[in-house]
Amino acid sequence: MRIAIASGKGGTGKTTVATNLAYVGSRNGRSVVYVDCDVEEPNGHIFLKPDLDGATPVGTLVPKVDESKCIHCGDCGDICQYSAIVSVGDAVLVFGELCHGCGGCSLVCPSGAISEVLHEIGEVHVGSTGPLAFAHGLLRVGQAMSPPVIKAVKAAAPAADLAIIDAPPGTSCPVIESVRDCDFLLLVTEPTPFGLNDLKLAVAMAREMKLPFGVVINRADLGDRETHLYCGNNDIEILTEIPDDRKIAESYSRGELAGEVLPGYRRMFETLLGRIDLRAG
């Protein structure tokens, strides 16, 4: 089973929920892997403190041109939608950072002048922490396209009965890539106008992708009641509410797992995991 944790708005507590679910699941004898798909700003390792294997490079395939075979027909530049390859004068130029790795240029080249080479854009690490398996990725600073790294993290993650997928914030391509094949989507929000606005976007995404989902309200006593009303009016199940507890904020700031160090919270995350099991199973 694959559970993805997403939010729309950043900083609502995705990583708190994801790391604690992975922690309580693995401590209760289940085979669990935590997969951090926020490859731009991964934070799960701060809380789970895994032992990691060496880095595996991740790249996209970009064209390499053998000028001696090129007949300057220009087809490569014509098929490319991203201006990543152009035939101009006596030369063919490749702009690797614009390439999406579709392979069109090498397919279309009539003289076999184009091969593909790996252009590194990030790296993936796998490891473990106690009984819990772990995977995360790092987009190289300055690279724009995170989805290939996200795809690589998911592919590299050790097999387990339960995968907890920690998605990046937002609702666009990196989030889509993270959650696209999950069995259940958990949306973490906070009861503020910003939190609610972005929850609505995340709900629209979940419905568009036809994913079963439920909501966790974090810092539940912080803002107003609008989020509760919205969920009630739209038949959206609130699976749990986490209080606005300064003890959680402080333990989070130090990189501690609430389910491990604070009494009562282990039970809360066990109950949440049980509810998700019922809905997704």
The answer to whether 105 and 63 are in contact (CB under 8 A) is yes
Whichever of 177 and 240 has its CB closer to another protein, that residue is 177
Q: Report helix, strand or coil for 276.
A: helix
The answer to whether 238 and 188 are in contact (CB under 8 A) is no
Number of H helices, E strands in the chain: 11, 12
Whichever of 144 and 278 has its CB closer to another protein, that residue is 144
- CA separation for the pair 213, 206 (Å, rounded): 7
Whichever of 245 and 277 has its CB closer to another protein, that residue is 245
- Tokens 């050790």, residue? 158
Whichever of 241 and 277 has its CB closer to another protein, that residue is 241
- Which residues neighbour 217 within 8 Å (Cβ) at sequence distance 6 or greater? 189, 190, 191, 227, 228, 238, 240, 241, 242
Whichever of 85 and 157 has its CB closer to another protein, that residue is 85
> Minimal distance in Å, beta carbon 24 to another protein?
20
- CA separation for the pair 158, 62 (Å, rounded): 28
Q: How far is CA 106 from the centre of its chain?
A: 30
> Minimal distance in Å, beta carbon 277 to another protein?
27
Helices 265-280, 14-27: crossing angle, 10 deg rounding: 90
> Minimal distance in Å, beta carbon 158 to another protein?
22
> Minimal distance in Å, beta carbon 96 to another protein?
11
In the chain the beta strands, taken as DSSP E runs, fall at 2-6, 32-36, 51-52, 56-65, 85-88, 91-94, 114-129, 132-139, 162-166, 184-189, 213-217, 238-241
> Minimal distance in Å, beta carbon 67 to another protein?
11
Q: Report helix, strand or coil for 100.
A: coil
Whichever of 12 and 20 has its CB closer to another protein, that residue is 12
> Minimal distance in Å, beta carbon 279 to another protein?
22
> Minimal distance in Å, beta carbon 32 to another protein?
21
Whichever of 7 and 20 has its CB closer to another protein, that residue is 7
Whichever of 41 and 161 has its CB closer to another protein, that residue is 41
> Minimal distance in Å, beta carbon 208 to another protein?
5
Binding residues (CB under 8 A) for another protein: these are 7-12, 15, 38, 40-41, 43, 46, 77, 79, 81-84, 86, 88-91, 93, 95, 98, 100-104, 107-108, 139, 141-146, 168-176, 180, 192-194, 197-198, 201, 204-205, 208-209, 222-224, 249-250, 252-255
- Which residues neighbour 128 within 8 Å (Cβ) at sequence distance 6 or greater? 50, 51, 134, 158
